[in-house]
Structure 1
Amino acid sequence: MNIHNFIQTKYNEPFIVQRADPYVYRHEDGSYLFTASVPEYDRIVLRQSDTLDGLQDAEEVTIWKRHETGKMSMHIWAPEIHFIEGKWFLYFAASEKDDIWALRPYVLECTGSDPIADPWIEKGKMQAADDFSFQDFSLDMTVFKNQDKWYCVWAEKVSVGKKISNLYIAELESPCRLSTAQVLLTSPDYDWERVDFWVNEGPSLLRHEDKLYLTYSASATGACYCMGMLSISSGADLLDPHAWKKERLPIMKTDWEKGILGPGHNSFTKSEDGKEDIMIYHARQYDEIEGDPLYDPNRHTYRMKILWDKDGRPVFDMTNNF
Structure 2
Amino acid sequence: MFKKVIFLSVLILILTTNPGGAEEMKYTNPVGNITDIGDPFVILVDDTYYLYATSMPGLGFKVWQSDDLVNWEEKGMALDSSNPKNRWGEGDFWAPEVVEYNDKFYMTYSARDRDGHLKIAVAKADSPLGPFINTAAPLFDRGMSFIDGHILIEDEKKYLYYVKDCSENIVDGIHMSQIYVQKMSDDFKSLIGEPKMILEPSQNWEGLNNDWQWNEGPYVLKNNDKYYLTYSANVYSSSDYSIGYATADKPMGPWTKAAENPVMTKDLEKGISGPGHNSFVRTKKNNELYIIYHTHTYPEFPSGNRNVNIDKAYFENGKLVIAGPTRRPMSYPDSN
Q: Please indicate the TM-score interval, normalised by the length of the shorter structure.
A: 0.7 to 0.9
1:171: Cα distance to partner? 1.1
Matched-pair contact (CA < 8 Å) for 2:268–2:299: no
1:151: Cα distance to partner? 0.9
Q: Specify the SS of the correspondent of 2:205.
A: helix
Runs of at least 5 residues in structure 1 that lack an aligned partner in the other structure: 1-9, 128-132
Runs of at least 5 residues in structure 2 that lack an aligned partner in the other structure: 1-26, 331-336
What residue in structure 1 maps to residue 154 of structure 2?
146
- Number of residue pairs the alignment of both structures matches: 291
Counterpart among 40, 44, 63 of residue 22 in structure 1: 40
Q: Specify the SS of the correspondent of 1:260.
A: coil
1:122: Cα distance to partner? 4.3
1:72-91 alignment, distance < 5 Å:
72-91=89-108
Structure 1 position 218 matched with structure 2 position 229:
no
Counterpart among 35, 48, 58 of residue 52 in structure 2: 35
> Can you list the C-alpha shifts for 1:193-226, whole angstroms capped at 9, x where unaligned?
2356211000012222322211000111111111
What residue in structure 1 maps to residue 319 of structure 2?
313
Matched-pair contact (CA < 8 Å) for 2:50–2:128: no
CA distance in 1, matches of 2:138, 2:232: 23
Question: For the pair shown, which has the larger CA radius of gyration, 1 or 2?
Answer: 2
> Can you list the C-alpha shifts for 1:145-174, whole angstroms capped at 9, x where unaligned?
123321110110332322211000111123
CA distance in 1, matches of 2:109, 2:57: 15
1:261-272 alignment, distance < 5 Å:
261-272=273-284
CA distance in 2, matches of 1:11, 1:118: 32
Counterpart among 220, 235, 241 of residue 205 in structure 1: 220
1:270: Cα distance to partner? 1.0
CA distance in 1, matches of 2:216, 2:195: 15
Matched-pair contact (CA < 8 Å) for 1:151–1:171: yes
1:88: Cα distance to partner? 1.3
Structure 1 position 126 matched with structure 2 position 134:
no
What residue in structure 2 maps to residue 109 of structure 1?
124
Q: Provide the alpha-carbon RMSD of the alignment.
A: 2.7
What residue in structure 2 maps to residue 46 of structure 1?
63
Q: Specify the SS of the correspondent of 1:318.
A: coil
Matched-pair contact (CA < 8 Å) for 2:30–2:308: no
> Can you list the C-alpha shifts for 1:264-317, whole angstroms capped at 9, x where unaligned?
00000011214200100001154443xxx6xx45211111111332x1422112
TM-score (norm 2): 0.77
Counterpart among 292, 296, 311 of residue 304 in structure 1: 311
Q: Percent identity?
A: 27
Q: CA distance change for structure 1 residues 155 and 83 in 2, over 3 Å: closer, same or farther?
A: same
1:40: Cα distance to partner? 4.5
CA distance in 2, matches of 1:53, 1:25: 14
Matched-pair contact (CA < 8 Å) for 1:106–1:124: yes
